[in-house]
Amino acid sequence: MLDEDQAQRPRGTVAFPISLAWCVIVVVEADTAWTGGRDRGPGVPGALRALERAFDLVFRAVANPWRHLGALGFFFFWVATASGIYLYLFFDTSVTGAYESVERLTHGQWYAGGVVRSLHRYASGAMVATVALHFVKELVGRRFAGFRWFSWVSGVPLVWLLLASGITGYWLVWDRLAQFVAMATAEWFDALPLFGEPIARNFAFPAAVSDRFFTLIMFLHVALPLALLAGMFVHIQRVNYADVLPARALGWGAFLALLALALAKPALSQGAADLATEPQTLALDWLVLGFYPLIYRFSPEALWIVAAAATLGLLILPFAARGERVPVARVDLANCNGCARCFADCPYAAIVMQPRAGGKAGQKHAAVVAGLCAGCGICTGACPSSTPFRSSERLVTGVDMPQQPIDAVRAELERKLARLHGEGRVVVFGCEQAAALHGCAGRGAATLSLTCVGQLPPAFVEYALRHGADGVLVASCLEGECVYRIGDTWTAQRLAGEREPHLRVTVPRERLRVVRAGAGEEKTLAQALTRFREALARMPRNEPRGSSRSKAPRALAAAQTGARG
């Protein structure tokens, strides 16, 4: 299908500079980009965040498609699979019968087969669009390096498998579009020095297409999606509690949108394939087949070079990224009782439970797989040993963060509590990734910023209330914005008593407030603090109730005496 002029065009002249530029971008971008997953500056991620938040207003975070692109990818896959099984029941896998069988299904039972065919086509397209957005979101959010390398690298082949699944699907219909797809794919593959005989010869004249070849395509159209599914499961191996199922509202919304499209614009064939003539005008599915015109605009070789360079560039991106490395959690065997709470709460499956050397049968302890650790501190928040009430001078917990050990957090809290005076003494626990705390500090509150709000052991709330705070405000990121995926969820559940370690029931809940304020929402946080103070002012002053910790620091003890006086 290449015309003479196109055949004359020097092959690869465009592809080489494009590929070179892409590789330079990859290395430069990666070199400056990796910040341990912390997304701070302005620019595209800021714009993306604004877009996501705007969608929250309409859909709420739980059903916001932008926040659940991975789950939507899975959802569309299942819709395509279920509809594909139905189509297969009526499909004739012979060259002569394929087109007719699809036509019968489309028009003979338009209310069932026709709708299911459209659902199959639109679910596949929607999956491509969703995965493209998911990819762009991870890329501009710079979430490809460090502990995320595995998710990134395992995501790249999925793009190929997804497109190949779609292409073989279009092929099966054996209409004019399928004819174009068959010919163009053959010409594209013939540019590779792999085949002795050009594959394009299989489509040179009608009798050249055999039933066997057609069965092969059918086999590929089943095998490729199966490989895609296997790849999808590998992709989420290092993501604990992966978001693979959209919320009911989002799932139904997506399905009804597909159904509405299927009824409004049913998927139709474009006339039976006729290898004796070339198709003149075709309606192309740009999502799945959008790159085909490039084969003719440039050359098959050029497209291979660009595709190979893009794939290679994406695969090396995580490793080309240099920069800040995150500190990794450390286990202290003496303080680990093997309860496995850290194992259950780690968002990246970085904790494994190992048999304790020299211990009783079945006794285990936690161990951190350094390469998987995000340095979020959620495990420290989960560990029952992370209670500040322990009497030891130095607080050592089962699993701790070297950049902000729990002992340092307790010491900082005690120091700041000692300086809290006057009305409405509030301790604000915040998160480095969410709204900054400087606005609250300016209003006389004691502020403590953690790597992730999930790093906060609930006992610290009680500790602050027992040692001079009138109230505790926990500032969490917005729902769905946790850089470490689930830190905000675990904290909310722990404070609500729904997850271990839970906040004790004896802690007065009216003195605790959880506020969701994302990065850049400092004003919202400051306003919430003001309202909390007003509420606290209507309550009796919270008298320090001493501590089960026998050796409370002198500064704190003095401050408590002063407060009582």
Cα–chain center distance at 44: 17
Among the residue ranges 6-14, 153-161, 246-254, 409-417, the one whose residues contact ligand HEM (CB under 6 A): 153-161
Q: How far is the CB of 387 from ligand SF4 (least distance, A)?
A: 11
Does 431 participate in binding ligand HEM (rule CB under 6 A)? Answer: no
- Cβ distance to ligand HEM smaller for residue 1 or 344: 344
Does 492 participate in binding ligand SF4 (rule CB under 6 A)? Answer: no
Does 331 participate in binding ligand SF4 (rule CB under 6 A)? Answer: yes
Among the residue ranges 177-185, 202-210, 337-345, 535-543, the one whose residues contact ligand SF4 (CB under 6 A): 337-345
CA atoms within 13 Å, Cβ hemisphere of 44 = 8
473: β partners: 428, 513
Q: Which of 37, 338, 457, 468 binds ligand SF4 (CB under 6 A)?
A: 338
Q: Give 340's contacts (C-beta < 8 A, 6+ positions apart).
A: 353, 364, 366
Does 239 participate in binding ligand HEM (rule CB under 6 A)? Answer: yes
The pair of structure tokens assigned to 238 is 């290092």
Q: Which of residues 171-230 bind ligand HEM (CB under 6 A)?
A: none
Distance CA 446, CA 395 (A): 21
**Residues touching ligand SF4, count (CB under 6 A):** 28
Distance CA 354, CA 367 (A): 7
Provide the phi-psi class of 166: left if phi over 0, else alpha when psi is between -120 and 50, else beta. Answer: alpha
Q: How far is the CB of 381 from ligand SF4 (least distance, A)?
A: 8
The pair of structure tokens assigned to 158 is 């999925």
Q: Which does 159 bind (CB under 5 to 8 A by kind): ligand SF4, ligand HEM, none?
A: ligand HEM
**Hey, what amino acid is at 46?**
G
CA atoms within 13 Å, Cβ hemisphere of 221 = 24
CA distances in angstroms from 120 to 85, 112, 231, 255, listed in the order given? 10, 12, 20, 11
Tokens 């299942």, located at residue: 78
Q: Which of 288, 309, 346, 418 binds ligand SF4 (CB under 6 A)?
A: 346
Does 513 participate in binding ligand HEM (rule CB under 6 A)? Answer: no
Q: How far is the CB of 17 from ligand HEM (least distance, A)?
A: 24
Residue nearest to ligand SF4 (CB): 398
Q: Which of 30, 145, 366, 409 binds ligand SF4 (CB under 6 A)?
A: 366
Q: What is the CA radius of gyration of the chain?
A: 30
Does 385 participate in binding ligand SF4 (rule CB under 6 A)? Answer: yes
Q: Which of 80, 156, 434, 440 binds ligand HEM (CB under 6 A)?
A: 156
Q: Which does 156 bind (CB under 5 to 8 A by kind): ligand SF4, ligand HEM, none?
A: ligand HEM
Does 164 participate in binding ligand HEM (rule CB under 6 A)? Answer: no
Tokens 């079945």, located at residue: 362
Q: Give 245's contacts (C-beta < 8 A, 6+ positions apart).
A: 71, 74, 75, 251
Q: Which of 524, 528, 518 is nearest to 488 (CA)?
A: 518
Asked if 324 and 403 count as a contact pair (C-beta separation under 8 A), the reply is no
Q: How far is the CB of 283 from ligand HEM (least distance, A)?
A: 25
Distance CA 378, CA 46 (A): 25
Tokens 């020299």, located at residue: 358
Does 66 participate in binding ligand HEM (rule CB under 6 A)? Answer: no
CA atoms within 13 Å, Cβ hemisphere of 120 = 25
Among the residue ranges 7-15, 148-156, 510-518, 527-535, the one whose residues contact ligand HEM (CB under 6 A): 148-156
| C-beta neighbour count of 92 within 10 angstroms | 16
Does 385 participate in binding ligand HEM (rule CB under 6 A)? Answer: no
Distance CA 548, CA 103 (A): 78
3-state secondary structure labels for all residues of 11-73? CCCCHHHHHHHHHHHHHHHHHHHCCCCCCCCCCHHHHHHHHHHHHHHHHCHHHCHHHHHHHHH
**Residues touching ligand HEM, count (CB under 6 A):** 27
Does 337 participate in binding ligand SF4 (rule CB under 6 A)? Answer: yes
Does 152 participate in binding ligand HEM (rule CB under 6 A)? Answer: yes
The pair of structure tokens assigned to 293 is 């015109």
Q: Which does 379 bind (CB under 5 to 8 A by kind): ligand SF4, ligand HEM, none?
A: ligand SF4
Q: Which of 105, 182, 273, 351 binds ligand SF4 (CB under 6 A)?
A: 351
Q: Which of 1, 191, 340, 552 binds ligand SF4 (CB under 6 A)?
A: 340
Among the residue ranges 66-74, 127-135, 345-353, 440-448, the one whose residues contact ligand SF4 (CB under 6 A): 345-353
Q: Output DSSP code: residue 198.
A: -
| C-beta neighbour count of 281 within 10 angstroms | 6
Q: Which of 217, 336, 450, 453 binds ligand SF4 (CB under 6 A)?
A: 336
Q: Which of 99, 135, 180, 188 binds ligand HEM (CB under 6 A)?
A: 135
474: β partners: 429, 514
Q: Which of 348, 429, 460, 490 binds ligand SF4 (CB under 6 A)?
A: 348
Asked if 466 and 560 count as a contact pair (C-beta separation under 8 A), the reply is no
Does 383 participate in binding ligand SF4 (rule CB under 6 A)? Answer: yes
Q: Which of 377, 439, 457, 518 binds ligand SF4 (CB under 6 A)?
A: 377
Asked if 370 and 326 count as a contact pair (C-beta separation under 8 A), the reply is no
Does 236 participate in binding ligand HEM (rule CB under 6 A)? Answer: yes
Asked if 57 and 66 count as a contact pair (C-beta separation under 8 A), the reply is no
Q: Which does 73 bind (CB under 5 to 8 A by kind): ligand SF4, ligand HEM, none?
A: ligand HEM
Does 75 participate in binding ligand HEM (rule CB under 6 A)? Answer: no
| Residues found near ligand SF4 in the complex (CB under 6 A) | 329, 331, 336-342, 346, 348, 350-351, 366, 368, 373-379, 382-385, 398-399
| Residues found near ligand HEM in the complex (CB under 6 A) | 70-71, 73-74, 131, 134-135, 138, 143-144, 148, 151-152, 155-156, 158-159, 162, 232, 235-236, 239, 242-244, 314, 485
